[in-house]
Amino acid sequence: MDFKIVNEKLDQATAILGELNIDMWMTYVRETVLTPDPCLDLVAGLDLTWHSAFILTRSGERIAIVGRFDGENVRAIGGYTKVITYDQGIRASLFETVSRLGPQTIALNYSMSDPAADGLTYGMQQNLLAAFEGTAYAKRFVSAEKLIAALRGRKSKSEQAHVKAAIRTTEKLLDELGETLKPGLTELHIAEKLHAARRALGLGTAWGEPYCPIVNAGPESAVGHVAPGTIKIARGQLLHVDFGVKQDGFCADLQRMWYFLAKDEKRPPAEVQRAWDACWAALDAGAEKLKPGAVCWEVDAAARASLTKAGYPEFQHALGHHLGRVAHDGASLLGPRWEKYGTAPLGIVEPGNIFTLELGVAVPERGFIGLEEDVLVTESGLEWLSKPQRKIWLV
């Protein structure tokens, strides 16, 4: 097993602890196949059976306390300064270690807004409180959400390379799909073409297989996280596909569009082209705002304002989300300050963030136009990781 990326993330975490003035970060887990903590991929990259604590300090100590039978696997990571094993129970070793380190703040994986930072189960939280009952440490627990947002959001060079590779593969499969399209195919037929192609490569899907790809054929197709159905694509209609592969543990997330020319048409009708141009103007307005130091909701607001100014309704979702180990990779969100998003839109854009940029509009009697590209935030702005689809593909 290659733990290169885990060690990159451990190095990043130590630096972020210093930035945030947090003494200790603890990822506390058990039976991780049943109840996986999203942070476990960052700090260990493997599954654990018994109660396990992965402790990182801003002074540079990295301590793993695990059941004896998990010890060798954790030592193989190579990034921990000390691996402590136990037989009968973790509490004695955990209490002794924390007492020796004497932290004033202990960050734990819970959050009201970020699912990627909310991996500590209620039962494990109660277990920790019981272990430190009657001590000062029981009152020093704080949320690790800011630390996790930075750690998960700042993609290392290796992570960036893996995402780029997944994007290239996804683009290739979508290009190949376009060569086989014809009127009369159902959404299910189109989806199966992509499934067959990615299975041939031994790849998974970036989100749940029944909904990846999402396929919308014409105006009667339900837009959203809907499984492909029996609706057939016809001439004079739009075909929308939302798809991404999962390759070597990392994901892509792209949307692509085709217009099926009606008899005697050589280009999309005016109402389709107008909607397409308005969507791209809005996406570009958001991209222009997406740079280090920007507040996430302000990036979304720029795109939203552009689209509504053009006379189209605002999209009922965020402009973009982080992309990485999963399609919706937690941390901050390029979205409006709506209740369902909590504090995620208040995040600050940082170099190394990989976001999707996505929005769309419905065109009456034609179908849905949906754009989605993947971008990397750099020190000076952004890099388009996907090849932007600037023109509607014609069939």
| Residue-wise DSSP of 129-147 | HHHTTTSGGGG-EEE-HHH
Alpha-carbon separation of residue 231 from 25, 124, 162, 238 (angstroms)? 51, 47, 35, 12
Do 146 and 158 fall within a single domain?
no
CA gap 306, 282 in Å, rounded: 5
pLDDT under 70: residue ranges of the chain: 1
Do 215 and 139 fall within a single domain?
no
CA gap 69, 113 in Å, rounded: 35
DSSP string, 24-53: EEEEEESSTTTS--TTHHHHTSS--SS-EE
CATH number of the domain that residue 62 is part of = 3.40.350.10
User: How would you list the strands of the sheet with 250-251, edge to edge?
Assistant: 204-205, 245-247, 250-251
Do 147 and 229 fall within a single domain?
no
Could you tell me which of 228, 242, 217, 267 has the C-alpha nearest to residue 393?
267
CA torsion 24-30-31-36 (nearest 10°) is -40
Last residue of a domain, one of 152, 167, 191: 152
Do 44 and 133 fall within a single domain?
yes
Do 145 and 189 fall within a single domain?
no
Q: Which residues contact 202 (CB under 8 A, 6 or more apart)?
A: none
Number of domains forming the structure of the chain: 2
Alpha-carbon separation of residue 185 from 189, 218, 238, 260 (angstroms)? 6, 12, 13, 12
Do 132 and 162 fall within a single domain?
no
pLDDT of 214 reads: 97
Structure tokens at 161: 């390379």
Last residue of a domain, one of 152, 174, 193: 152
pLDDT of 331 reads: 82
Structure tokens at 248: 């070597």
Domain that holds residue 208: 154-394
CA gap 349, 332 in Å, rounded: 8
Do 279 and 360 fall within a single domain?
yes
Last residue of a domain, one of 107, 137, 152: 152
Do 374 and 341 fall within a single domain?
yes
pLDDT of 113 reads: 87
- 98: which DSSP letter? H
Do 166 and 265 fall within a single domain?
yes
pLDDT of 100 reads: 97
Under the phi-then-psi rule, with left for phi > 0, alpha for psi from -120 to 50, and beta for the rest, what region is 31? left
> What helix, strand, coil percent values describe the chain, rounded to 5?
35, 20, 40
pLDDT of 323 reads: 97
Could you tell me if 300 and 121 are in contact, meaning their C-beta atoms sit under 8 angstroms apart?
A: no
Do 87 and 197 fall within a single domain?
no
pTM for the full model?
0.95
CATH number of the domain that residue 381 is part of = 3.90.230.10
